[in-house]
Amino acid sequence: MDASTPVSGGTELLARLDRLPLSRPHRRLMLQGGMGYMFESYDGVLLGYAASAVVALWALDSATSGWVLASVFVGFLIGALIAGALADRIGRRRVLMYALLVYVVFTLLAATASGPGELILWRILSGIGIGAEATVIVPYVSELLPSRERGRGIGRTMMFLGVGHVLAGLTAVTVISPAPETGWRIACLFGAAPVLLLLWWRRSMVESPRFLIAQGRLDEAREIVEEFEREAERAGAVVEPVAAAGVTARDSGAATVERTSALRRLAALWGPGMARRSTVVCLLWFAFQAAQYGYGTWLPTLLVLQGFAISTSFAFTLAGAVAEIPGYYLAAVISERIDRKWTIVLFLLGGVGCAAGLVVADSVVTVFCCTVGLSFFMNGTASPLYAYTSEIYPTSLRITGMGVASATARVGSILAPVTIGYLYADLGFGGVFTMLCGLLLGGALILAAFGLRTAGRSLEEMHDPVAAPGRTEGVA
């Protein structure tokens, strides 16, 4: 069957899925996805704390320290590209399961590293699992949430990133700081052990009905939609029948059978109608992740280099991690009112203001307030940004598109820690945050000028006609 051939009955199932009230299956999926993000953020931030100990223990120079910090993001880049190619081919659920297994194995090995080269290797390999996981979670969750709840639902899922950052900060204060030599290794074990429970729990995860419909597996998709309907009715919700008028030709976009290669899907991202969307999100993700991880991974070490005690540095960073959680939630709520695009712009500009404050900070109080504020705005940006990226692509390209955007972001997250490591001696503390201001401002301007509005629209509504490989999609 041709890749663009509509599958009879798929549009009705999508309409039934989109009109459901938020119920127990949705919350279970958000919790499962959120826990995956919690472990991702814990692991991604933890080495920023551990670097303060590792740099001293192994007498590393700033350039080598930058590579240690960037190593996990090299793995993120590889994992994002692999996930983007596989999840649109073999399914969302299977990629999520395999990614967790890879992460667990190599995170445990990282705890045994005896030098920077070995640590870098294990971090790259564990990062492949994290990168694949992070790329798939939000598109997967967004495909199961009704459009009216998508922004808030993804925001609730993303809040677990803040929980992971808080746990990393608590681990740094209670485990690494008192005994740096063994503490960072124990922290790695903490990061891997709970994922085994999550891996067992995820056996109950369902495949995305949108993916199944796109593969022509209507019976499987119907079983999942019907189970969601039964769960909603058992919870006392009234599940209204789908009106015939609600199933339009426009909605047929997701109901196509995908039988194309990864190369054709990649090419379709840069074809007519899709090129502008892909360009905007790639530039935006690069700027955002370069700023976020350049700042996030180096902050504990930068504060120590500024003369703060390691315990004070950890406490400041932990306070910033706590501020992330309301940032995620507030951004998710706002994004349903003023749209994902303008929420991202607003929070990026808030980050610019806080980074500028750190450039001119002349007191401990100012450094503390700007550090906390920057964490609030930077991580608040992530919630609508993940949702926005998953929404602008049709089902046949959704995770391929997310993978390319995520891979571009990982280039930024690799370059930023390494660049700071090489240039810190010349730039100084203020220069680092001036560079971050430029990145955030550039991303905000690009999105404001060329971005797409998405809030409150069904995933199919934004893709008319369908952008399947070999076809084009109009710019909405």
Select the more confidently predicted residue: 163 or 444: 444
Rounded to 10°, the helix 340-360/275-305 angle is 30
In a domain, 463, yes or no: no
In a domain, 467, yes or no: no
Q: Give the pLDDT mean for 432-448.
A: 89
Check whether 321 has a pLDDT greater than 90.
no
What pLDDT is recorded for position 9?
64
In a domain, 473, yes or no: no
CATH of the domain at 344: 1.20.1250.20
What pLDDT is recorded for position 270?
87
Identify residue 25 by its one-letter amino acid code: P
Check whether 249 has a pLDDT greater than 60.
no
Q: At 387, is the secondary structure helix, strand, or coil?
A: helix
Rounded-to-integer distance, Cα 446 and Cα 438, Å: 12
Identify residue 414 by its one-letter amino acid code: I
What pLDDT is recorded for position 464?
53
In a domain, 471, yes or no: no
Rounded-to-integer distance, Cα 164 and Cα 178, Å: 21
Please report which confidence band the pLDDT of residue 1 belongs to, taking 50, 70 and 90 as the band edges: very low
In a domain, 308, yes or no: yes
Question: Which DSSP letter does residue 471 get?
Answer: S
What is the token pair recorded at 67? 């590579």
What pLDDT is recorded for position 378?
86
| Maximum average pLDDT range among 110-119, 154-163, 281-290 | 281-290
In a domain, 472, yes or no: no
Q: To which H or E segment does residue 394 belong?
A: none
What pLDDT is recorded for position 278?
92
What pLDDT is recorded for position 456?
57
Q: At 206, is the secondary structure helix, strand, or coil?
A: coil
What pLDDT is recorded for position 48?
67
Rounded-to-integer distance, Cα 400 and Cα 90, Å: 12
Q: Which one, of 171, 140, 225, 205, lies nearest residue 50 by Cα? A: 171
Select the more confidently predicted residue: 49 or 388: 388
What pLDDT is recorded for position 448?
92
Q: Beta-carbon neighbour count of residue 117 at 10 Å? A: 11
- Please spell the DSSP secondary structure of 244-265, one letter per residue: GGGS-GGGGGG-B-----HHHH
In a domain, 455, yes or no: no
What pLDDT is recorded for position 460?
57
Give me the long-range contacts of 58-62 (CB less than 8 A, separation at least 24).
Answer: 58/115, 58/116, 60/116, 62/421, 62/422, 62/424, 62/425
Q: Compute φ and ψ for 256, nearest 5 degrees.
A: -125, 145
Q: Give the pLDDT mean for 330-358.
A: 88
What pLDDT is recorded for position 183?
85
- Please spell the DSSP secondary structure of 397-463, one letter per residue: THHHHHHHHHHHHHHHHHHHHHHHHHHHHHHHHHHHHHHHHHHHHHHHHHHHHH----TT--TTTT-
- Are residues 100 and 205 in contact, defined by beta-carbon separation less than 8 angstroms? no
Select the more confidently predicted residue: 9 or 60: 60
In a domain, 464, yes or no: no
The partner residues of 6 in beta bridges, in order of sequence, read 256
Q: Compute φ and ψ for 200, nearest 5 degrees.
A: -65, -45
Please report which confidence band the pLDDT of residue 457 belongs to, taking 50, 70 and 90 as the band edges: low
Q: What angle do CA 359, 361, 362 make, to 5 degrees?
A: 135
Check whether 438 has a pLDDT greater than 50.
yes
What pLDDT is recorded for position 405?
87
Q: Which one, of 355, 366, 362, 350, lies nearest residue 444 by Cα? A: 350
Q: Give the pLDDT mean for 102-128.
A: 88
Q: Compute φ and ψ for 6, nearest 5 degrees.
A: -65, 145
Of 247-251, 311-315, 358-362, the range with the lowest mean pLDDT is 247-251
Q: Please give the tally of structural domains in the chain.
A: 1
User: 3-state secondary structure string, 144-202?
Assistant: HCCHHHHHHHHHHHHHHHHHHHHHHHHHHHHHHCCCHHHHHHHHHHHHHHHHHHHHHHH
Which tens digit of pLDDT belongs to each residue from 3-47? 333 344 678 888 888 888 888 888 888 888 888 888 877 877 776
Average of per-residue pLDDT values in the chain: 79
Instruction: State which residues form the domain around 93.
Output: 10-239+250-450
Select the more confidently predicted residue: 283 or 359: 283
**Cut 0.85: pTM above it:** no
Q: Give the pLDDT mean for 60-73.
A: 76
Please report which confidence band the pLDDT of residue 458 belongs to, taking 50, 70 and 90 as the band edges: low
Check whether 324 has a pLDDT greater than 50.
yes
